């Protein structure tokens, strides 16, 4: 994984990279991190990275505005904000950051964030068996499954990197198996992987693909709570893991 740390503070950048390399070694996590101080050159190199660590206050450039531009161009790449000011946390939600690191709590917050990244990478290799009949199972990688759509007695499995599959099974059965892998029931006919949600407005969910899916009324509160809790947890659930 390649990461880009964007900050106009040269001294802090060195401190950040030092701890990043130390914690990655402890976690057996491979992240190659480059640093960018010349903010005018970001767009020349941005496409080469999987992950962006962005300071929010950088002189003439605002990290939140930069993140919005990055998100518009690279929807599936991860953004992590870094700031001394926690008041930016809720403003940052609009670009769906992976995490928010407090500069004055760098050691703790960075270690926890890297632990979350490690979990995310592990999840990408998980394979789940969905029983279709007594003899047949559908092997699914949850990280590659965008959503499931119920069609009568059948469920269509829509994948990111391979052809869709249709199986005779109830969506409730699929939900029971996949609910622990980041899938949200948004409609009687739809079960969606939260990683592929681009935005939510009113009773509509927009996927990263641009497809729009309706949220039915019985699921609206649960959907909003799930998405908010997931993001809020990245910022505030800081007691279970401690850095070395």
pLDDT confidence of residue 197 = 87
Lowest-confidence region among 75-89, 139-153, 184-198:
75-89
Whether residue 184 contacts residue 226, with contact meaning beta carbons closer than 8 Å, is answered with: yes
Pairing mode, strands 2-6 and 51-55? parallel
Distances (CA, A) of 56 to 7, 38, 77, 100, 216: 8, 15, 18, 10, 36
**Residue tagged 């962005």 (tokens):** 54
- The whole-model pTM stands at 0.63
pLDDT confidence of residue 236 = 39
Phi, psi dihedral angles at 154 (to 5 degrees): -120, 160
pLDDT confidence of residue 56 = 87
CA–CA separation, 5 and 117 (whole Å): 16
Neighbouring C-beta atoms of residue 152, cutoff 10 Å = 7
Average pLDDT over residues 114-133: 86
Name the band, by pLDDT with cuts 50, 70 and 90, for residue 66.
confident
CA–CA separation, 176 and 17 (whole Å): 41
Average pLDDT over residues 36-49: 85
What's the token pair of residue 170? 């109830």
Name the band, by pLDDT with cuts 50, 70 and 90, for residue 174.
very high
């Amino acid at each position: 994984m390649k990461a880009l740390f964007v900050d106009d503070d040269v001294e802090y950048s060195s401190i950040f990279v030092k701890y990043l390399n130390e914690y990655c070694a402890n976690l057996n996590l491979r992240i190659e991190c480059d640093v960018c101080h010349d903010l005018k050159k970001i767009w020349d190199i941005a496409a080469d990275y999987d992950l962006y660590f962005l300071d929010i206050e950088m002189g003439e450039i605002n990290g939140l505005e930069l993140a919005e531009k990055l998100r518009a161009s690279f929807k599936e790449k991860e953004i992590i904000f870094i700031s001394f000011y926690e008041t930016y946390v809720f403003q940052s939600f609009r670009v769906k950051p992976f995490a928010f690191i407090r500069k004055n709590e760098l050691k703790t917050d960075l270690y926890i964030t890297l632990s979350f990244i490690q979990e995310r990478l592990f999840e990408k290799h998980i394979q789940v068996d969905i029983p279709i009949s007594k003899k047949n199972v559908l092997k699914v990688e949850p990280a590659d499954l965008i959503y499931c759509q119920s069609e009568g007695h059948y469920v269509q499995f829509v994948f990111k990197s391979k052809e869709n599959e249709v199986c005779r099974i109830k969506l409730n059965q699929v939900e029971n198996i996949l609910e622990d892998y980041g899938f949200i029931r948004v409609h009687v006919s739809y079960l969606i992987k939260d990683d592929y949600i681009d935005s939510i407005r009113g009773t509509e969910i927009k996927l990263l693909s641009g497809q729009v899916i309706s949220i039915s009324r019985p699921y609206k509160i649960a959907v909003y709570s799930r998405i908010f809790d997931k993001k809020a947890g990245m910022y505030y659930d800081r007691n279970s893991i401690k850095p070395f």
